[in-house]
C-alpha cells in the first residue's frame, strides 16, 4: 500500500501510471468497493452509461485473440500484450436511451469513471496503465468482449502490483496556467 492520501488533491498529485506491474492484483471485493464509489461521478440524468469488464487469468486471452484478429498480429505477441498485468479492466461506454443526454455526454461519464478508477486504484496502492490502440473499436475486439450493439470500448486499464523500484517518481512539469486557465 502507498501512504493514504489526506485529500483528493493529494491523491491526484501523487497519481502515476505504471507500465510494469507485478503479479498481485486487487481481488473482486476490493474492485467492487472502488467501483461502488462511482455513484458520485458527475452523470447527467444519472444514466450510469458505463460498465467495466474484469479479465483475469485465461480470460485475458480473449483480449489477445481479439487483438490478433484486429491487427493481424501473431497470437503469441498479443498474448504477451494482454497478459502484461494480472488484471485487465475493459472500460465500456454502455449508452442508455435518453432524449436529453446525447452520446458525447454519456461517453464523458464513462471517461470520468475510468479516470477516477485509476486514481482510486493508485491510492489503494495498485499500479495501473490505461491502454488503447487504433483497433480499440474493431469488431473482433467488440466480439471478444461480448459487447452489445450500442456499446464500445474506451480501452483497457491494466492493473497489478507496483514493483519496489518504481515506487518513487519525478515531480511533474508544472502546468502553463496562461494556456490552461483563461478568463473572458
Ligand X SMILES: Cc1cc2nc3c(=O)[nH]c(=O)nc-3n(C[C@H](O)[C@H](O)[C@H](O)COP(=O)(O)O)c2cc1C
Residue numbers of the site for ligand X (CB under 6 A)? Answer: 16-17, 129-133, 155
Q: Which helix (H) or strand (E) holds 103?
A: helix 103-123
Least distance from C-beta 27 to ligand X, angstroms?
23
Least distance from C-beta 57 to ligand X, angstroms?
23
Q: What is the rounded distance in angstroms from the CA atom of residue 50 to the CA atom of residue 151?
A: 9
Least distance from C-beta 62 to ligand X, angstroms?
18
Residue 164: burial class (beta carbons within 10 Å; 0-12, 13-18, 19+): exposed
Q: With contact defined as beta carbons under 8 Å apart, do 56 and 67 qualify?
A: no
Three-state secondary-structure class, residue 43: coil
Residue number with CB closer to ligand X (112 or 133):
133
- Specify the residue for cell string 455526454: 105
Least distance from C-beta 36 to ligand X, angstroms?
23
Residue number of the CB closest to ligand X reads: 17
Residue number with CB closer to ligand X (35 or 93):
93
Q: What is the rounded distance in angstroms from the CA atom of residue 8 to the CA atom of residue 4?
A: 10
Residue number with CB closer to ligand X (98 or 155):
155
Residue number with CB closer to ligand X (65 or 81):
81
Amino acid at each position: 500500500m502507498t501512504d493514504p492520501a489526506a485529500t483528493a488533491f493529494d491523491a491526484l498529485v501523487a497519481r502515476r501510471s505504471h507500465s510494469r506491474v507485478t503479479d498481485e492484483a486487487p481481488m473482486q471485493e476490493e474492485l467492487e468497493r472502488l467501483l461502488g464509489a462511482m455513484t458520485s461521478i458527475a452523470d447527467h440524468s444519472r444514466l450510469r452509461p458505463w460498465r467495466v469488464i474484469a479479465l483475469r487469468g485465461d480470460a485475458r486471452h480473449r483480449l489477445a485473440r481479439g487483438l490478433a484478429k484486429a491487427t493481424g498480429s501473431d497470437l503469441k505477441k498479443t498474448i504477451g500484450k494482454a497478459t502484461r498485468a494480472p488484471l485487465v479492466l475493459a472500460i465500456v461506454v454502455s449508452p442508455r436511451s435518453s432524449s436529453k443526454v446525447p452520446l458525447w455526454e454519456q461517453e464523458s461519464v464513462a471517461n470520468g469513471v475510468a479516470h477516477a478508477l485509476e486514481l482510486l486504484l493508485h491510492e489503494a496502492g495498485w499500479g495501473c496503465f490505461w491502454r488503447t490502440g487504433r483497433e480499440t473499436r474493431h469488431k473482433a475486439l467488440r466480439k471478444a468482449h461480448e459487447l452489445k450493439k450500442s456499446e464500445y470500448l474506451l480501452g483497457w486499464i491494466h492493473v497489478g502490483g507496483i514493483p519496489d523500484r518504481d515506487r518513487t517518481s519525478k515531480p511533474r512539469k508544472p502546468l502553463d496556467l496562461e494556456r490552461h486557465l483563461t478568463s473572458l
